[in-house]
Structure 1
Amino acid sequence: MALGLGLAAAALVPVAAGAVGDDGGDPDSKSSKSSTSKAAGTRGAGLPYTEYEAEDGTYKGKLLEAEPTRPHGKTNFATESSGRKSVQLDATGDNVEFTSKAPTNSIVVRNSIPDAAGGGGQEKTLSLYADGEFVQKLKLSSKHSWLYGSTDEPEGLTNNPGGDARRLFDESHALLEKSYPEGTKFKLQRDEGDDAAYYIVDLVDLEQVAAPAEKPAECTSITEYGAKPDDGEDDTKALQAAVTDDQNGKIECVWVPAGQWRQEQKILTDDPEDRGTHNQVGIRDVTLKGAGMWHSQFYTTTPPHEAGGINHPHEGNFGFDIDDNTQISDIAIFGSGTIRGGDGGAEGGVGINGRLGKGTKISNVWIEHANVGAWVGRDYSNIPELWNPGDEVQFSGMRIRNTYADGVNFTNGTHNSTVTESSFRNTGDDALAVWSSKYVKDPATDTGDNNTFSNNTIQLPWRANGVAVYGGSNNKIQNNSISDTMNYPGIMLATDHDPTPFGGTTTISGNELHRAGGAFWNADQEFGAITLFAASSDIPGVTISDTVISDSTYDGIQFKGGGGNMPGVKISDVKISKSNNGSGILAMASARGDATLSNVEISGSGEEDITIEPGSQFKINQ
């Protein structure tokens, strides 16, 4: 029998008014109800759209609700839904309706429709109405959803229909022909001709998208190199030529006008020496600007594992390979990945990858259907003379959705780098990660250091964590809103994946976590909303403060041991409510270390408020 300890403390310091997802600790509230304004110091990103949950509108259809343990991986639609609820439309006339809270001229619908019988997805339509008037048919697709297999190993999943399935949702987006005012009643309805076997509507984003930006006078358009928008022809050669001229100082910057631009090769620097198994030399000293992420959009039609002759199968046939000092802004990168692993080791490509080096800035870039949104760093052994770990790399205003693995991963000694004011949804591994790997020039000095993830909104990772830190020093996880992780923590610090040691401090502050944690690895491991996992070495210097944890699937904060110790953890000004199937704070039998609590409030725990399992060498000081 576990030891339960009662806990009484003063109330948590209140969240600032106007916070994204601010619910005062109400476990039944929804997070990420965002708009264009956000009070300073609040949680989550200041997103330019307003989000509407299908179940919060009026609907004619079937409400889907997750089971109490929110099981994942066995075709569980509600578990994979925002708020763990969604609405299914089965019959003609079934619909979801809601009233807009701001003007809008665009729509994003998170939805699920069935796979094709033989796999590979299918396209169907769903009808959009505004104030009772038909607007247009929205195109929905299941090409990038539906992975099959009972294993929790991502490389073991397949595109071949049969048995259990996961990654059931994808998104459809459209710019509307006109702007609709605040108070418009929007309706998604199944009409005649909308003939999928069923439609599941999870949420809708409405946004007032600005007109396309004008070309800066100093920039040169890719059209001058022969690129043509919206014609379906491959524009890679023109894009590569423009980038190369900018890198060589022939032009000042590259301009991507509004339009759909097909890209079937990674943009990089050609290596005449052909070093490495594949050409892995990135671009440097390049500035590329677009007319806006809704307007200047690169896309590929070929899944990377089906594209012959691409420069690097793992990193795909789209996006940019960067080595140093590159600025990319106001574009979209839409890959065509369909798998991570499985089917012969196929992968879905990477939107932004490379060494990234000093001073690279990526802002207002929308990435979908990639294996990874952005992978920062290369192994030292990959062309050692080009070793150049990320330093002062900045990501801001990112919109990374529906990936098969990570959103943004800082690895290979990345330091002094940030991800801020960005949104992540439906990532297939950690939405944000620091992996201080040992594949560096000198593991004793080339450690991940002083990296910060702040003011981001993270929703629905279908595998792994909202934010993860594997080793390194002086990490900061601040003012993020994290909700609906399927199977892993909202935030995890861990020493698996053989990282360099934790050092200095790791600061977790000002975050909110809703419906986080879950069961994984054949449901044998249950993870807390925040989990410290000393798998192989120590995790020292951790502080958790000014944090709201609500409606966790299992524990609120969990200490999980292995070969390491977790000494001197400080937890202050934290409110933990409704840990449904676990404790407010759990120290597992394997855990070693100690934590001191100050101004911590725990309520509504499924088990004890504080549990120290028999045999645990972890102490909790109140």
Structure 2
Amino acid sequence: MKWKKSRGRLLTGASLAGLMAVALLPATSTAAPSEPAPSEPASAAPAEAAAERGASLPFVEYEAEAGVFEGTLVEADAERTFGHTNFGTESSGRASVRLDATGEFVEFTSVNVTNSIVVRNSIPDAPGGGGQEASLSLYADGEFVQKLTLSSRHSWLYGNTDDPEGLTNTPQGDARRLFDESHALLEDSYPAGTTFRLQRDADDTADFYYVDLIDLEEVAAPLPRPAGCVSITEFGAVADDGLDDTAAIQAAVTADQEGEIDCVWVPAGQWRQEQKILTDDPLDRGPHNQVGIRDVTLRGAGMWHSRFYTLTPPHEAGGINHPHEGNFGFDIDANTRISDIAIFGSGTIRGGDGGAEGGVGLNGRFGEGTRIANVWIEHANVGVWVGRDHSNIPELWGPGDGVEFSGMRIRNTYADGINFTNGTRNSQVTDSHFRTTGDDALAVWASRYVADPGTDIGHDNTFANNTIQLPWRANGIAVYGGYGNTIENNVISDTMNYPGIMLATDHDPLPFSGQTLIANNELHRCGGAFWGEAQEFGAITLFAAAQDIPGVTIRDTDIHDSTYDGIQFKTGGGAVPDAQITNVTIDRSNHGSGILAMGGARGNATLTDVTITNSAEGDIHIEPGSPFTIDGAPAARAG
């Protein structure tokens, strides 16, 4: 159906749509290199804003279907079917606009000043796979601005399996991961009230264009070089020349690590990197037993300005120094500060086509004293993997402790966004944005690959004030084992197949104990069907697969428009004893119940001030055969 739709409303990040966010713009910093201060908001938010949900983002997000358009409105089917080339399901808000004919467009009027644009889009794959590029025309107030270059190189995975290692880049019937993003800094800055149009002109030649959403952001000027920092150009790197700068980057980092310089400066520019930055191991203990960097400070001119990029997919690179984690990014062991850069990998697959992997942006032991701020990562297998197995050079093993991430922008991965594993503790991810991750956007995995499984348990980690959109596989946020972990003040929307939030004991974690807190979160259109569409997941799912999950508190949370259940206690070999659910609103569980205890679920929950409305299969449903008990009834409904 062709539509010409009237202009829709703009929705804030804390609104019920959960789709758009406005934040203060970054300012420059000139702090001493011994204590790096990444770009910060231009002014402090009021104290009461600390409890607001989601990240404070420097861009405003505009949904294509909420603007004026001439094209085809594409919406998800009722069950938001995934994995069968379902563009509507994979769209933000479960809708996007398709442009087929010359002159078709998406148009919207800005509410913020901008000098940049990001377009989440989909164009066809190349006939034989591998992707292609095509242009789309950008106009402002009726005047042509420039061509945007769109690419399908990092999208279009094929196969009818839900095992990610079974997917391929070779075209066949069913496809997923259909969308990617294109971005551009514009030559001019445009005021609020500008009417922008993305239009298919005669020389825009892709067979079709899906436009899902647009981010507009006023990007600050490049940050100045901090006093005492030494530029990678002093070691031979040359911006924008297309040649590999790895040797120069590595030399600068090594000089800092050895105390020859105070910190590494990455000026504005495009810097090609085709090897992982790490520490040379004189014992040469092999590609899976690497030594990371430590005692290093690396600062850039801003995530839009200082960009590391890789041209060669890791599985095609050959001879790289870190085959397991790829040919880009940094291996970190301890006490490392990285801020205000971008890392763009060149991954195209996860596991398929001969066990290929897409690489990891930041990986390693991380240790103590590590802070990462304002780093943009795309097209990696994993954005950040915190922790190494104890067996990987045991004498160097140490868990991430007190590791901090803030202002991260992680998008379009093939697996996790940020995963805290191998005993990571007292660490946090705050005020960050995740979109289109291929596994959990955020996870604590209290794995057993540690020095002492009795004590080295992932604990007291916090995921707070983050915005998560469109995980195309697995969860928005997951915790697998451990204690004292907190999920708070996050906004999560549009999971393809798994929950927005999941606590689980699959993946063989160390046990849950103490309290796991889920507080003041907001979930929209979460949950889905997976594993051959045989399992249906709730927006929040508690899965005691083989061990108990004690100490669960869910409070002050709003769950909207779930594909199946609002809160689900899933069948497993363990139990969920004494779960406390307080001040929770669940509205519109489309194909399930407000709260479901499956037939094999064991344990009990207490409800206090819980409101459930518009559930397809009842407010509370305990399936026959389940010994699960629920005390307390949903609150009386107004009217």
Alignment match of 1:237 (pick from 247, 252, 259): 247
Go from structure 1 to structure 2 and tell me whether the alpha carbon gap of 1:407 and 1:466 turns closer, same or farther (over 3 Å shift). Answer: same
Go from structure 1 to structure 2 and tell me whether the alpha carbon gap of 1:196 and 1:19 turns closer, same or farther (over 3 Å shift). Answer: closer
**Secondary structure at 1:61's aligned position in 2?**
strand
Deviation at 1:36, TM superposition (A): 1.2
Alignment match of 1:492 (pick from 498, 502, 505): 502
Alignment match of 2:372 (pick from 362, 376, 382): 362
Alignment match of 2:160 (pick from 150, 164, 173): 150
Q: Is the 8 A contact 1:276 1:382 kept in 2?
A: no
| CA distance in structure 2 between the partners assigned to 1:22 and 1:146 by the alignment | 32
Go from structure 1 to structure 2 and tell me whether the alpha carbon gap of 1:19 and 1:417 turns closer, same or farther (over 3 Å shift). Answer: farther
* Structure 2 residues not aligned, in runs of 5+: 1-9, 25-44, 633-639
Q: Is the 8 A contact 2:287 2:323 kept in 1?
A: no
Q: Is the 8 A contact 2:289 2:392 kept in 1?
A: no
Residue 294 in 1 paired to residue 286 in 2? no
Pairwise mapping of residues 4-83 of structure 1 onto structure 2 (< 5 A)?
21-23=13-15, 29-37=16-24, 39-83=49-93
**Secondary structure at 1:502's aligned position in 2?**
coil
Q: Is the 8 A contact 1:279 1:312 kept in 2?
A: no
Q: Deviations over 1:9-67 (max 9, x none)?
A: xxxxxxxxx995334xxxxx521311115733110000000000000000000000101
Q: 1:170 is matched with which residue?
A: 180
| CA distance in structure 1 between the partners assigned to 2:80 and 2:509 by the alignment | 31
Residue 533 in 1 paired to residue 543 in 2? yes
Q: Is the 8 A contact 1:32 1:44 kept in 2?
A: no
Residue 429 in 1 paired to residue 439 in 2? yes
Q: Deviations over 1:463-514 (max 9, x none)?
A: 0000000001111000000000000000000000000000110000000000
| CA distance in structure 2 between the partners assigned to 1:140 and 1:188 by the alignment | 12
Deviation at 1:275, TM superposition (A): 1.7
Q: Deviations over 1:388-420 (max 9, x none)?
A: 110000010000000000000000000000000
Q: 1:114 is matched with which residue?
A: 124
| CA distance in structure 2 between the partners assigned to 1:573 and 1:410 by the alignment | 29
Q: 1:221 is matched with which residue?
A: 231
Deviation at 1:340, TM superposition (A): 0.1
Deviation at 1:313, TM superposition (A): 1.5
**Secondary structure at 2:118's aligned position in 1?**
strand
Alignment match of 2:206 (pick from 196, 220, 244): 196
- TM-score when scaled to structure 2? 0.93
Q: 2:141 is matched with which residue?
A: 131
Pairwise mapping of residues 406-421 of structure 1 onto structure 2 (< 5 A)?
406-421=416-431
Q: 1:463 is matched with which residue?
A: 473
Q: 1:13 is matched with which residue?
A: none
| CA distance in structure 2 between the partners assigned to 1:545 and 1:512 by the alignment | 11
Q: 1:250 is matched with which residue?
A: 260
| CA distance in structure 1 between the partners assigned to 2:178 and 2:288 by the alignment | 34
Pairwise mapping of residues 526-605 of structure 1 onto structure 2 (< 5 A)?
526-605=536-615
Q: Is the 8 A contact 1:299 1:335 kept in 2?
A: yes
Could you tell me which amino acid in structure 2 is paired with residue 21 of structure 1? G
| CA distance in structure 1 between the partners assigned to 2:18 and 2:436 by the alignment | 15
**Secondary structure at 1:246's aligned position in 2?**
helix
Deviation at 1:277, TM superposition (A): 4.6
Deviation at 1:561, TM superposition (A): 2.6
RMSD of aligned Cα (Å): 1.0
| CA distance in structure 1 between the partners assigned to 2:172 and 2:377 by the alignment | 29
Could you tell me which amino acid in structure 1 is paired with residue 13 of structure 2? G
**Secondary structure at 2:250's aligned position in 1?**
helix
Q: Deviations over 1:571-622 (max 9, x none)?
A: 0110000000000000001100000000000000011110000011110000
Alignment match of 1:84 (pick from 84, 87, 94): 94
**Secondary structure at 1:539's aligned position in 2?**
coil
Alignment match of 2:460 (pick from 450, 475, 483): 450
Could you tell me which amino acid in structure 2 is paired with residue 313 of structure 1? P
Could you tell me which amino acid in structure 2 is paired with residue 474 of structure 1? G
Q: 1:380 is matched with which residue?
A: 390
**Secondary structure at 1:173's aligned position in 2?**
strand
Q: 2:32 is matched with which residue?
A: none
Could you tell me which amino acid in structure 1 is paired with residue 328 of structure 2? F
Pairwise mapping of residues 341-356 of structure 1 onto structure 2 (< 5 A)?
341-356=351-366
Matched-pair identity in %: 74
Q: Is the 8 A contact 1:112 1:200 kept in 2?
A: yes
Could you tell me which amino acid in structure 1 is paired with residue 283 of structure 2? E
Q: 1:332 is matched with which residue?
A: 342
Could you tell me which amino acid in structure 2 is paired with residue 390 of structure 1? G
Could you tell me which amino acid in structure 1 is paired with residue 471 of structure 2? P
**Secondary structure at 1:504's aligned position in 2?**
coil
Q: Is the 8 A contact 1:20 1:481 kept in 2?
A: no
Q: Deviations over 1:290-338 (max 9, x none)?
A: 0000000000000000011112222000000000000000000000000
Go from structure 1 to structure 2 and tell me whether the alpha carbon gap of 1:19 and 1:51 turns closer, same or farther (over 3 Å shift). Answer: closer
Q: Is the 8 A contact 2:594 2:619 kept in 1?
A: yes
Q: Deviations over 1:150-193 (max 9, x none)?
A: 00000000000011000000000000001000000000000011
- TM-score when scaled to structure 1? 0.96
Go from structure 1 to structure 2 and tell me whether the alpha carbon gap of 1:277 and 1:211 turns closer, same or farther (over 3 Å shift). Answer: closer
Question: Quick one: higher RCO (CA 8 Å, sep 6+), 1 or 2?
Answer: 1
| CA distance in structure 2 between the partners assigned to 1:493 and 1:299 by the alignment | 35
- Return 476-485 or 311-320, whichever deviates more: 311-320
How many residue pairs end up in the alignment?
A: 600
Q: Is the 8 A contact 1:562 1:590 kept in 2?
A: yes
| CA distance in structure 2 between the partners assigned to 1:32 and 1:104 by the alignment | 19
| CA distance in structure 2 between the partners assigned to 1:543 and 1:471 by the alignment | 15
Q: 2:171 is matched with which residue?
A: 161
Q: 1:12 is matched with which residue?
A: none
Could you tell me which amino acid in structure 2 is paired with residue 321 of structure 1? D
Poorly superposed stretches of 4+, deviation over 4 Å: none
Q: Is the 8 A contact 2:62 2:213 kept in 1?
A: yes
**Secondary structure at 1:40's aligned position in 2?**
helix
**Secondary structure at 1:79's aligned position in 2?**
coil
| CA distance in structure 2 between the partners assigned to 1:288 and 1:277 by the alignment | 24
| CA distance in structure 1 between the partners assigned to 2:555 and 2:23 by the alignment | 27
Could you tell me which amino acid in structure 2 is paired with residue 30 of structure 1? A
**Secondary structure at 2:562's aligned position in 1?**
coil
